[in-house]
Structure 1
Amino acid sequence: MDEIFIRGLVCYGYHGVFPEERRLGQRFIVHLRLGLNLASAAAADNLEQSVDYGAVCQTVQRVVEGEPQQLIERVAERVCETLFTQFPKLEQIEVEVVKPGAPIPVPFAEVGVRLVRQRTAR
Protein backbone atom coordinates (compact mmCIF):
# COMPACT_ATOMS: atom_id res chain seq x y z
CA MET A 1 0.00 0.00 0.00
CA ASP A 2 1.20 3.48 -0.82
CA GLU A 3 1.38 6.20 1.84
CA ILE A 4 1.08 9.90 2.38
CA PHE A 5 2.83 10.94 5.58
CA ILE A 6 2.55 14.06 7.68
CA ARG A 7 4.89 14.58 10.61
CA GLY A 8 4.87 17.16 13.34
CA LEU A 9 1.47 18.80 12.90
CA VAL A 10 1.20 21.11 15.92
CA CYS A 11 -2.21 21.81 17.44
CA TYR A 12 -3.42 23.37 20.68
CA GLY A 13 -6.12 21.54 22.59
CA TYR A 14 -7.75 21.17 25.98
CA HIS A 15 -7.56 17.42 26.50
CA GLY A 16 -6.66 15.72 29.74
CA VAL A 17 -7.89 14.13 32.91
CA PHE A 18 -6.83 16.97 35.20
CA PRO A 19 -8.83 20.20 35.47
CA GLU A 20 -5.71 22.33 34.79
CA GLU A 21 -5.18 20.61 31.43
CA ARG A 22 -8.75 21.26 30.40
CA ARG A 23 -8.62 24.87 31.58
CA LEU A 24 -5.18 25.93 30.33
CA GLY A 25 -4.75 23.70 27.30
CA GLN A 26 -1.47 22.57 25.77
CA ARG A 27 0.31 21.64 22.56
CA PHE A 28 -0.29 18.31 20.88
CA ILE A 29 1.83 17.00 18.03
CA VAL A 30 0.29 14.70 15.45
CA HIS A 31 2.05 12.34 13.03
CA LEU A 32 0.07 10.59 10.29
CA ARG A 33 0.63 7.79 7.81
CA LEU A 34 -2.24 7.51 5.36
CA GLY A 35 -2.50 4.29 3.35
CA LEU A 36 -4.10 4.39 -0.08
CA ASN A 37 -3.43 3.47 -3.69
CA LEU A 38 -1.55 6.34 -5.33
CA ALA A 39 -0.92 4.67 -8.71
CA SER A 40 -3.63 6.54 -10.60
CA ALA A 41 -2.64 9.88 -9.02
CA ALA A 42 0.98 9.31 -9.99
CA ALA A 43 0.07 8.26 -13.54
CA ALA A 44 -2.37 11.13 -14.14
CA ASP A 45 -0.51 13.78 -12.10
CA ASN A 46 -3.92 14.75 -10.75
CA LEU A 47 -4.75 15.73 -7.16
CA GLU A 48 -8.33 14.47 -7.53
CA GLN A 49 -6.90 10.95 -7.75
CA SER A 50 -5.10 11.40 -4.43
CA VAL A 51 -5.86 12.98 -1.05
CA ASP A 52 -5.16 16.67 -0.45
CA TYR A 53 -2.81 16.62 2.53
CA GLY A 54 -3.47 20.31 3.22
CA ALA A 55 -7.14 19.46 3.71
CA VAL A 56 -6.12 16.49 5.87
CA CYS A 57 -4.07 18.81 8.11
CA GLN A 58 -6.97 21.23 8.49
CA THR A 59 -9.30 18.36 9.38
CA VAL A 60 -6.92 16.99 12.00
CA GLN A 61 -6.44 20.46 13.45
CA ARG A 62 -10.22 20.91 13.81
CA VAL A 63 -10.49 17.59 15.65
CA VAL A 64 -7.53 18.14 17.99
CA GLU A 65 -8.47 21.75 18.71
CA GLY A 66 -12.16 20.85 19.03
CA GLU A 67 -14.19 19.19 21.75
CA PRO A 68 -12.04 18.36 24.79
CA GLN A 69 -11.52 14.69 25.64
CA GLN A 70 -10.03 13.14 28.75
CA LEU A 71 -7.72 10.75 26.90
CA ILE A 72 -5.50 11.24 23.88
CA GLU A 73 -6.57 7.73 22.92
CA ARG A 74 -10.02 9.18 22.23
CA VAL A 75 -8.54 12.16 20.36
CA ALA A 76 -6.60 9.78 18.10
CA GLU A 77 -9.70 7.64 17.50
CA ARG A 78 -11.72 10.73 16.55
CA VAL A 79 -8.98 11.74 14.10
CA CYS A 80 -9.28 8.33 12.41
CA GLU A 81 -13.08 8.38 12.32
CA THR A 82 -13.18 11.88 10.87
CA LEU A 83 -10.51 11.22 8.23
CA PHE A 84 -12.23 8.03 7.04
CA THR A 85 -15.50 9.95 6.74
CA GLN A 86 -14.07 12.92 4.86
CA PHE A 87 -11.55 11.13 2.63
CA PRO A 88 -13.06 8.01 1.05
CA LYS A 89 -9.84 7.06 -0.76
CA LEU A 90 -8.09 6.31 2.55
CA GLU A 91 -7.80 2.61 3.32
CA GLN A 92 -5.57 2.74 6.40
CA ILE A 93 -4.64 5.41 8.93
CA GLU A 94 -1.82 5.37 11.42
CA VAL A 95 -2.02 8.32 13.78
CA GLU A 96 0.24 9.29 16.66
CA VAL A 97 -0.85 11.94 19.12
CA VAL A 98 2.05 13.18 21.22
CA LYS A 99 1.49 15.15 24.42
CA PRO A 100 4.79 16.94 25.14
CA GLY A 101 3.47 18.67 28.27
CA ALA A 102 1.85 15.66 29.89
CA PRO A 103 1.68 15.96 33.69
CA ILE A 104 4.20 13.23 34.44
CA PRO A 105 6.24 13.68 37.65
CA VAL A 106 9.52 12.45 36.15
CA PRO A 107 11.55 13.74 33.19
CA PHE A 108 10.53 12.26 29.83
CA ALA A 109 11.26 12.90 26.18
CA GLU A 110 7.92 12.07 24.64
CA VAL A 111 4.64 10.41 25.51
CA GLY A 112 1.71 9.65 23.27
CA VAL A 113 -0.44 7.04 21.62
CA ARG A 114 -0.35 5.39 18.22
CA LEU A 115 -3.43 3.87 16.60
CA VAL A 116 -3.61 1.92 13.35
CA ARG A 117 -7.04 1.61 11.78
CA GLN A 118 -8.28 -0.04 8.58
CA ARG A 119 -11.34 1.14 6.72
CA THR A 120 -14.21 -1.22 7.37
CA ALA A 121 -16.18 -2.68 4.48
CA ARG A 122 -18.25 -0.05 2.73
Structure 2
Amino acid sequence: MDCIHLTEIRCYGYTGYLPEEQVLGQWFEVDVKLWLDLSAAAKSDEISDTLDYRSVISLIQDLVKTSKFALVERLAGAIADSIIQQCHQVTQVQVILTKPAAPIPDFGGKISIELTRSRAE
Protein backbone atom coordinates (compact mmCIF):
# COMPACT_ATOMS: atom_id res chain seq x y z
CA MET A 1 0.00 0.00 0.00
CA ASP A 2 1.16 3.54 -0.74
CA CYS A 3 1.71 6.24 1.90
CA ILE A 4 1.67 9.98 2.25
CA HIS A 5 3.78 11.29 5.14
CA LEU A 6 2.99 14.69 6.67
CA THR A 7 5.57 15.70 9.25
CA GLU A 8 6.23 18.47 11.74
CA ILE A 9 2.75 19.97 11.68
CA ARG A 10 3.23 22.48 14.48
CA CYS A 11 0.12 23.73 16.31
CA TYR A 12 -0.67 25.61 19.51
CA GLY A 13 -3.29 23.91 21.63
CA TYR A 14 -4.88 23.52 25.05
CA THR A 15 -4.68 19.81 25.82
CA GLY A 16 -3.00 18.75 29.05
CA TYR A 17 -3.60 17.21 32.43
CA LEU A 18 -2.62 20.31 34.42
CA PRO A 19 -5.20 23.13 34.59
CA GLU A 20 -2.65 25.71 33.40
CA GLU A 21 -2.04 23.67 30.24
CA GLN A 22 -5.70 24.06 29.33
CA VAL A 23 -5.59 27.79 30.02
CA LEU A 24 -2.15 28.88 28.83
CA GLY A 25 -1.72 26.25 26.12
CA GLN A 26 1.46 24.90 24.56
CA TRP A 27 2.99 23.81 21.28
CA PHE A 28 2.39 20.37 19.80
CA GLU A 29 3.92 18.65 16.80
CA VAL A 30 2.02 16.11 14.73
CA ASP A 31 3.32 13.62 12.18
CA VAL A 32 0.90 11.46 10.22
CA LYS A 33 1.31 8.59 7.81
CA LEU A 34 -1.66 7.97 5.53
CA TRP A 35 -2.06 4.66 3.70
CA LEU A 36 -4.03 4.83 0.47
CA ASP A 37 -3.85 3.78 -3.16
CA LEU A 38 -1.84 6.34 -5.14
CA SER A 39 -1.62 4.37 -8.39
CA ALA A 40 -4.20 6.50 -10.27
CA ALA A 41 -2.50 9.77 -9.27
CA ALA A 42 0.91 8.36 -10.21
CA LYS A 43 -0.42 7.84 -13.76
CA SER A 44 -2.75 10.81 -14.23
CA ASP A 45 -0.91 13.66 -12.45
CA GLU A 46 -4.36 14.91 -11.34
CA ILE A 47 -5.03 16.06 -7.78
CA SER A 48 -8.53 14.62 -8.02
CA ASP A 49 -6.93 11.16 -8.09
CA THR A 50 -5.21 11.59 -4.75
CA LEU A 51 -5.81 13.02 -1.30
CA ASP A 52 -5.39 16.78 -1.09
CA TYR A 53 -3.25 16.76 2.03
CA ARG A 54 -3.89 20.46 2.65
CA SER A 55 -7.28 19.39 4.01
CA VAL A 56 -5.62 16.90 6.39
CA ILE A 57 -3.21 19.56 7.67
CA SER A 58 -6.13 21.96 8.27
CA LEU A 59 -8.10 19.23 10.03
CA ILE A 60 -5.17 18.52 12.38
CA GLN A 61 -4.52 22.20 13.08
CA ASP A 62 -8.19 22.84 13.85
CA LEU A 63 -8.42 19.85 16.21
CA VAL A 64 -5.28 20.79 18.14
CA LYS A 65 -6.34 24.46 18.40
CA THR A 66 -9.92 23.83 19.51
CA SER A 67 -9.71 20.66 21.65
CA LYS A 68 -9.36 20.73 25.42
CA PHE A 69 -8.61 17.17 26.47
CA ALA A 70 -6.81 16.14 29.64
CA LEU A 71 -4.71 13.50 27.87
CA VAL A 72 -2.57 13.73 24.75
CA GLU A 73 -3.64 10.14 24.07
CA ARG A 74 -7.19 11.42 23.60
CA LEU A 75 -6.06 14.18 21.24
CA ALA A 76 -4.01 11.71 19.15
CA GLY A 77 -7.04 9.40 18.99
CA ALA A 78 -9.32 12.25 17.94
CA ILE A 79 -6.93 13.17 15.12
CA ALA A 80 -6.73 9.58 13.87
CA ASP A 81 -10.49 9.03 14.09
CA SER A 82 -11.25 12.29 12.27
CA ILE A 83 -8.88 11.48 9.43
CA ILE A 84 -10.39 8.01 8.99
CA GLN A 85 -13.94 9.47 9.06
CA GLN A 86 -13.32 12.41 6.72
CA CYS A 87 -10.74 11.04 4.26
CA HIS A 88 -12.46 8.11 2.61
CA GLN A 89 -9.44 7.13 0.50
CA VAL A 90 -7.33 6.53 3.63
CA THR A 91 -7.41 2.90 4.75
CA GLN A 92 -5.00 3.31 7.68
CA VAL A 93 -3.50 6.25 9.55
CA GLN A 94 -0.60 6.53 11.97
CA VAL A 95 -0.44 9.59 14.22
CA ILE A 96 2.57 10.66 16.26
CA LEU A 97 1.67 13.52 18.58
CA THR A 98 4.62 15.16 20.34
CA LYS A 99 4.58 17.49 23.29
CA PRO A 100 8.00 19.21 22.95
CA ALA A 101 8.00 20.91 26.34
CA ALA A 102 6.32 18.71 28.93
CA PRO A 103 5.76 20.48 32.28
CA ILE A 104 7.65 17.87 34.30
CA PRO A 105 10.34 19.06 36.74
CA ASP A 106 13.92 18.14 35.76
CA PHE A 107 12.80 16.65 32.43
CA GLY A 108 13.97 18.33 29.25
CA GLY A 109 12.85 15.68 26.78
CA LYS A 110 9.81 15.28 24.61
CA ILE A 111 6.75 13.10 25.10
CA SER A 112 5.22 11.40 22.06
CA ILE A 113 2.13 9.29 21.58
CA GLU A 114 2.02 7.01 18.56
CA LEU A 115 -1.11 5.20 17.47
CA THR A 116 -2.41 3.53 14.34
CA ARG A 117 -6.02 3.20 13.26
CA SER A 118 -7.50 1.31 10.34
CA ARG A 119 -10.79 1.80 8.58
CA ALA A 120 -11.76 -1.76 9.58
CA GLU A 121 -11.51 -0.99 13.34
TM-score over 0.5 (shorter chain) = yes
- Residue 47 (structure 1) aligns with: 47
| Equivalences for residues 1-122 of structure 1 within 5 A | 1-120=1-120
Gaps of 5+ in 2: none
Instruction: Please report how far the alpha carbon of residue 47 of structure 1 lies from its aligned counterpart in structure 2 after TM superposition.
Output: 1.1
> 2:54 is aligned with what amino acid?
G
How far 1:109 sits from its partner (Å)? Answer: 2.7
Instruction: Tell me how far 1:30 sits from its aligned partner.
Output: 0.3
Aligned residues: 121
Structure 1's consecutive aligned runs of 4 or more residues displaced over 6 angstroms after TM superposition are: none
Distance 1:80 1:29 in 2: 14
- Is the 8 Å Cα contact of residues 2 and 36 (structure 2) preserved in structure 1? yes
Give aligned-pair identity as a percent. Answer: 36
Which stretches in structure 1 are left out of the alignment for 5+ residues? none
Counterpart residue type for residue 98 of structure 1: T
